[in-house]
Amino acid sequence: MPALQRILLKLSGEALMGDEAFGIHRGTIERIVAEVAEVSRLGVQVAIVIGGGNLFRGVAGGAVGMDRATADYMGMLATVMNALALGDALERGGTKARVMSAIAIDQVVEPYVRPKALQYLEEGKVVVFAAGTGNPFFTTDTAAALRGAEIGAEIVLKATKVDGVYTADPKKDPSATRYQRISFDEAMVRQLQVMDATAFALCRDQNLPVRVFSIFKPGALKRVVLGEDEGTLVHV
């Protein structure tokens, strides 16, 4: 039996880029979908919060000097596009999925309603949350912490390019070592950039652990779900 029964997976938009400068790399999204589908078939309830940085990069130059709230709403629309692509790829791969948005775009995507999201999860569908929290000035990290707490997830899995939290940047310092586990308080004292401060505080206050792992390591998501030593666990 999997060690985890309900998870909130936080995917950055950049995770979908592959080797592209921006946008969505089809092979990359299909590989991620295959890993999510494998975990779902184990009986694990999977919810996903996705970022939009990969698409927003394409308009980032034009956003310079723009009102912050306006730029953030543009970023939310980017997450909706990513969520639709992810939901479509899941469905094409044979995994039932529902996309729910924190901002109302009724003709395009279903609005986020907590009881409905819980119903979908209990039916075994993968639920993809789009548009962050629906508010400017909040990151998709914060949306992951919020949605994770709302749906009663056992853990937030932050999928990154790095296979955990290190004592220093492993790209700059070859002697850096990976933490197997670390407390929220210690991570804050050491100023380790696990998540943004708001998301980090929310997870700590809600006793919602975070595991940081690499989505680019084949089978890593399954190993995390099965309780194996993968990535770094951040806990109370």
134 has binding-site annotation: yes
**What's the rounded Cα separation, in Å, for the pair 43 and 124?**
7
173 has binding-site annotation: no
Residue 153 C-beta-side C-alpha neighbours within 13 Å: 28
> So where are the chain's domains?
1-161, 164-192+205-212+229-233
57 has binding-site annotation: yes
Q: Is the pLDDT score of 170 beyond 90?
A: no
**What's the rounded Cα separation, in Å, for the pair 44 and 74?**
32
CATH pick for 1-161 out of 3.30.300.30, 3.40.1160.10, 3.30.1600.10, 2.40.100.20: 3.40.1160.10
61 has binding-site annotation: no
132 has binding-site annotation: no
Residue 194: predicted pLDDT: 87
152 has binding-site annotation: no
- The pair of three-digit structure tokens given for residue 158, joined into one six-digit string: 């932050």
53 has binding-site annotation: yes
**What's the rounded Cα separation, in Å, for the pair 41 and 104?**
31
139 has binding-site annotation: yes
Output Rg (C-alpha) for the chain, integer angstroms.
Answer: 17
* CA neighbor of 79 nearest in space, from 34, 15, 153, 20: 15
198 has binding-site annotation: no
Select the more confidently predicted residue: 155 or 62: 155
94 has binding-site annotation: no
What does the pLDDT average to over 116-130? 98
* CA neighbor of 55 nearest in space, from 32, 22, 88: 22
12 has binding-site annotation: yes
Residue 57: predicted pLDDT: 63
**What's the rounded Cα separation, in Å, for the pair 66 and 207?**
37
133 has binding-site annotation: yes
Q: Is the pLDDT score of 1 beyond 80?
A: no
- The pair of three-digit structure tokens given for residue 101, joined into one six-digit string: 């948005």
Q: How confident is the prediction for the chain on average, in pLDDT?
A: 92
Select the more confidently predicted residue: 8 or 20: 8
Residue 24: predicted pLDDT: 87
Q: Is the pLDDT score of 22 beyond 90?
A: no
116 has binding-site annotation: no
54 has binding-site annotation: no
136 has binding-site annotation: yes
Cβ–Cβ under 8 Å, residues 158 and 108: no
52 has binding-site annotation: yes
Residue 59: predicted pLDDT: 58
Residue 64: predicted pLDDT: 64
Residue 19: predicted pLDDT: 73
Judged by average pLDDT, the poorest of 13-17, 63-67, 105-109, 182-186 is: 63-67
Model confidence over 69-92: pLDDT tens digits? Answer: 998 999 999 999 999 999 999 999
In this prediction the pTM is: 0.93
Grouping H, G, I as helix, E, B as strand and the rest as coil, residue 43 is: coil
